[in-house]
Structure 1
Amino acid sequence: MPTPAGRVLSSLTLRGRCLVAGAVALLLAGAVLGERALVQLAVFLLALPLLSALTVARERFRLSVRRTVTPPRVPRGETADVVLEVANADTRTGGLWVLTEQLPGDLGTAPRFVVERLAAGARTELRYRVHGHRRGRHTLGPLRLRLVDPFGLVERGAVGADSALLLVVPRVRPLGSGGPVGGQGGGGDGARRTIAVQGEDDVSTREYRHGDDLRKVHWRATARTGELMVRLEERPWRAQATLFVDTRARAHLVAPRARPGGQAGIPPRGPAGEDDPPTDSLEWLVEAAASIGTDLARRGAALRAVTDAGELLPTPGRGRLGPEELLDGLAGIGPSRLSGLGIGIEQLCRAAGEGPVVCLLGAVGPDDVVELVRSRSGPTTDLAVLADIESWADPGPGRGRRAMSAAARGALATQREDAARLLRAAGWRVAVARADRSVADVWAELGTPVPADPATAAGLQGTRA
């Protein structure tokens, strides 16, 4: 148990410690020189911190704190206003209070306030602003109180139990009128997809693939081409759509946490004209999922979202994810330690059924997507976005990374191209996401069909067989 002198020493401020050190030096000098006046002055200076500590120790306080966050949820990169309503719940006037709000580093510097002699029952409002540099659920508070004597020699601390939650959700980027779900700019079959959006059958055909339902064989097209053809029936996006987000840490270059605003306040490099661009490939994919999912949900789609670790479930009692629920679920997503996509693909197949899926993948190769191709055989045209993580490795303002070696870049690019060929051969539409490309550009590219490589398609059929 600490002694009274030990408690006093531990509560001294920097000013108090300097005063004690000076008093001790003065006491030694007075004793050596035989100057009684110096000794008396030293004793007085040593007694001053003790009197201050006694004053602070005897001070009683009762605070009531109410914290209001407006708004309680903000997109990444936006700000929120916080109001602290501090009330003196004691029957006596308060002393000199130094209040510090405890904040996570991702929200900025912890604000400090000085409140002096707040009357009994009185209230005061303290305001500050936080900036949502990083997506996630952030706790504001509790409030830390420091009682300081009038000379600033001794302090006494206490921590409250109150706190509030600020939810920083992904930014939703506008997708424009293009894309695979119809509208303008969707390429040659934009009208065909618009019909599919309305729920009508699509009468386009393609070559038969191993595993296709023989009842879908289009005999007129078969007779005309001389090859077995099946009807390509696009599933209506307004009926159901499923998002799949690859969050594996090994598949991304995740930006370090301590980088609010980039280096020296310079924002990271991104698409031209886009404010607060994503800091890494994982953030880009999460924002893409938020943007695409919000757009599909507003079109009336029964939306489901899956990551490599499992499904994002809606609120109990609701059958599907709404736009706000999707953003809330994506807000808490971080890099996972899983090495493969097996768990996520299994969950994806159960969630999606025969409806279309949009897969947002990090650094992948053929081995990563082969199971995805096998599990999604059928007439539905699915979509895949492959992240070019090398583009986020480029040294630039606020990135704080070393340039990636040419050998590593080449290996990643080759794996990505092989995975893209494998997906396209299976009927998928594939686009590549880079740091300088917007979500709208990639989404519009997915609306343009790309012919499959016949050689790859033949090899794929052999693999399935």
Structure 2
Amino acid sequence: MRRAWPLTARGTGAVLLAVACFIAANEAGLVELVYFGALLLIAVAASLGSLYLTRHAETVTRTLYPDVATVGREAQVSVRAGVRTAVPTPPGTWRDVLPRGLSGSAEGVFPALGSGLSRNERIIDLSYTVQGAARGVHALGPLTVRATDPFGLARRTTVFGERTPVTVVPSTTDLPPLADFAGETGGSLHTTTNQLGQGADNLVARPYEPGDSMRRIHWRATAHRDQLMVRQEEQESTPEASVVLDRGVLRWSMDAMRAPGADPGFEAGVSAAVSAVARLVRDGYAVEVLDSDGTVLAERIDGGDMDEVEIFLTHVATLTARRDDTLGKLPRVFAGVMTGPVIVVVGRFDAADAVTIGPVAHHSTLPMLFSVMPVGDALERAADAGWRIGAIDVDGDFSRAWSGAAGRGVRHVVG
């Protein structure tokens, strides 16, 4: 980060001119040239001293708003540097080094500073805007400041502070609510109820039975039915959904296992999966996120708990593919159970895979299958087995595939 030669072109010329004056003074016997050459060297030395004997950074802190960056969205970075200087310093330029996971312009003018003899530290606040470029945890910084002396003879590039880790989470597409397709889902979108003898919400009336407390008499229902009625409470139970992200590297590329953000196809799959999770939670489902072998990728997220969705996004920021191919184990994960929506996101998907996971569709009220790289008529064969299908376009809008699969059943929709 530091330049080997600390002088500017003007400073280098001054040194060369001073040397030439000394040579000419020796050849021509002109003492005045010696004085002039010495004056030039003194000026250069003073310029170097004004830069290298002043301006020391004690602390550098960075704050990101929001706390995590999102692929494709902007975030604001605030940098606070505590600087000490014994003598006034001229303005310079600053630049914060951006990792590959962030893009933007992180540079500007570093202000001139007055003497710090009367106080210990001067606080400098800088800010800039970045955009998430690649999922993962990336190191932001260090901050570098480049300054020249007032005469433009010398320059100094100083590294301020340490690097700051920044988490970049996958992009989330705002999907249409499944409530728009209630007629297609077998009624699983709504909360189910179990009648109990206790509770305080969702009251219904039933005929009075010996032993019922008089405090539970429902007077309006009693008057309406002309018989003694009591309040019967109902307890709500949350419908469940599952989102499956197949991470087998053979269905993506080796880059998907190397680092987050390295394989565009895998990134599209991750984005589709987290978008589905966010939509289902917002619709009131309790969602579990699984790998195709049943491995839990995130703890159960209760319906409506969007704060947990944000935590989930942070958790998958470092998710990569794995070496095993376990899509064939998916039928065992759902064997013997009947559940709500099951959303499966996979990379390469062929006709043999459609046969293998076909039985899973019969264990879900809303089986939806999305593939980034469908082979031949594999998706159509999956649709014949009961799946609602969609192809994920790496550069497209996932909401189109989602709407098509949820609303039109077995139609192959690219989004």
Moved segments of 4+, more than 6 Å: 350-353
Percent of aligned pairs with the same residue?
21
Q: Which moved more, 1:153-162 or 1:356-365?
A: 153-162
Q: Provide, for residues 151-188 of structure 1, a one-character-per-residue CA deviation record: whole Å limited to 9, x for no partner.
A: 343344543445545443333333224x4xxx3446xx
2:6 corresponding residue in structure 1: 12
2:314 to 315, 328, 340: 328
Relative to 1, partners in 2 of residues 1:160 and 1:61: Cα closer, same or farther, differing over 3 Å? closer
Give the drift of 1:128: 1.9
Amino acid at match of 2:274: A
CA distance in 1: counterparts of 2:59 and 2:390, whole angstroms: 55
Relative to 1, partners in 2 of residues 1:72 and 1:125: Cα closer, same or farther, differing over 3 Å? same
Structure 2's unaligned 5+ residue stretches are: 194-236, 257-262
Relative to 1, partners in 2 of residues 1:58 and 1:244: Cα closer, same or farther, differing over 3 Å? same
CA distance in 2: counterparts of 1:71 and 1:9, whole angstroms: 35
1:107 aligns with 2:66: no
Query: TM-score under structure 2 normalisation?
Result: 0.65
Give the drift of 1:385: 0.5
Identify, as 1 or 2, the structure richer in strand: 2
Amino acid at match of 1:19: G
Structure 1's unaligned 5+ residue stretches are: 1-7, 201-236, 256-278, 389-412, 452-465
1:134 corresponding residue in structure 2: 134
- Aligned pairs for 1:3-402 within 5 A: 10-15=4-9, 18-19=12-13, 22-23=16-17, 26=20, 30=24, 34=28, 36=30, 41-59=36-54, 61-88=56-83, 92-96=86-90, 98=92, 99-105=94-100, 106-120=102-116, 121=119, 122-146=122-146, 148-177=148-177, 179=178, 183-185=179-181, 190=184, 193-195=186-188, 197-199=190-192, 238-246=238-246, 251=251, 280-307=264-291, 311-314=296-299, 322-334=308-320, 336=321, 338=322, 341-342=325-326, 349=333, 355=339, 356-367=341-352, 371-373=356-358, 376=360, 379-380=363-364, 382-388=367-373
Amino acid at match of 1:141: G
CA distance in 2: counterparts of 1:32 and 1:345, whole angstroms: 90
Relative to 1, partners in 2 of residues 1:165 and 1:118: Cα closer, same or farther, differing over 3 Å? farther
> Aligned to 1:445, what secondary structure does the other structure show?
helix
On the 8 A contact 1:149/1:155 being kept in 2, the answer is yes
CA distance in 1: counterparts of 2:344 and 2:8, whole angstroms: 57
Query: TM-score under structure 1 normalisation?
Result: 0.59
> Aligned to 1:113, what secondary structure does the other structure show?
strand
Q: Provide, for residues 279-331 of structure 1, a one-character-per-residue CA deviation record: whole Å limited to 9, x for no partner.
A: 94434333322221111112332222235796433499xxx993212222333
Q: Pick the structure with greater CA Rg.
A: 2
**RMSD over aligned Cα atoms:** 4.5
On the 8 A contact 2:289/2:296 being kept in 1, the answer is yes
State how many pairs are aligned. 347
> Aligned to 1:312, what secondary structure does the other structure show?
strand
Amino acid at match of 2:129: R
Q: Provide, for residues 390-437 of structure 1, a one-character-per-residue CA deviation record: whole Å limited to 9, x for no partner.
A: xxxxxxxxxxxxxxxxxxxxxxx6x2423x244334432222223575
CA distance in 2: counterparts of 1:38 and 1:437, whole angstroms: 73
On the 8 A contact 1:240/1:303 being kept in 2, the answer is yes
CA distance in 1: counterparts of 2:336 and 2:280, whole angstroms: 14
Give the drift of 1:87: 3.6
On the 8 A contact 2:18/2:37 being kept in 1, the answer is yes
Q: Which moved more, 1:349-358 or 1:133-142?
A: 349-358
CA distance in 2: counterparts of 1:126 and 1:450, whole angstroms: 54
> Aligned to 1:341, what secondary structure does the other structure show?
coil
1:417 to 359, 371, 377: 377
> Aligned to 1:151, what secondary structure does the other structure show?
coil
CA distance in 2: counterparts of 1:38 and 1:59, whole angstroms: 32
On the 8 A contact 2:11/2:152 being kept in 1, the answer is no
Amino acid at match of 1:85: R
Relative to 1, partners in 2 of residues 1:49 and 1:299: Cα closer, same or farther, differing over 3 Å? same
Amino acid at match of 2:363: P
On the 8 A contact 1:293/1:326 being kept in 2, the answer is no
Give the drift of 1:249: 6.4
Amino acid at match of 1:306: L
Relative to 1, partners in 2 of residues 1:113 and 1:343: Cα closer, same or farther, differing over 3 Å? farther
Relative to 1, partners in 2 of residues 1:322 and 1:315: Cα closer, same or farther, differing over 3 Å? same
Relative to 1, partners in 2 of residues 1:362 and 1:116: Cα closer, same or farther, differing over 3 Å? same
CA distance in 2: counterparts of 1:423 and 1:14, whole angstroms: 69
CA distance in 2: counterparts of 1:147 and 1:168, whole angstroms: 32
CA distance in 2: counterparts of 1:385 and 1:126, whole angstroms: 44
Relative to 1, partners in 2 of residues 1:289 and 1:377: Cα closer, same or farther, differing over 3 Å? closer
> Aligned to 2:399, what secondary structure does the other structure show?
helix
CA distance in 1: counterparts of 2:394 and 2:52, whole angstroms: 57
> Aligned to 1:241, what secondary structure does the other structure show?
strand
> Aligned to 2:60, what secondary structure does the other structure show?
strand
On the 8 A contact 1:245/1:308 being kept in 2, the answer is yes
Q: Provide, for residues 14-47 of structure 1, a one-character-per-residue CA deviation record: whole Å limited to 9, x for no partner.
A: 4366326743773597379647465654454445
CA distance in 1: counterparts of 2:273 and 2:377, whole angstroms: 22
Amino acid at match of 2:80: E
1:443 to 402, 410, 414: 402
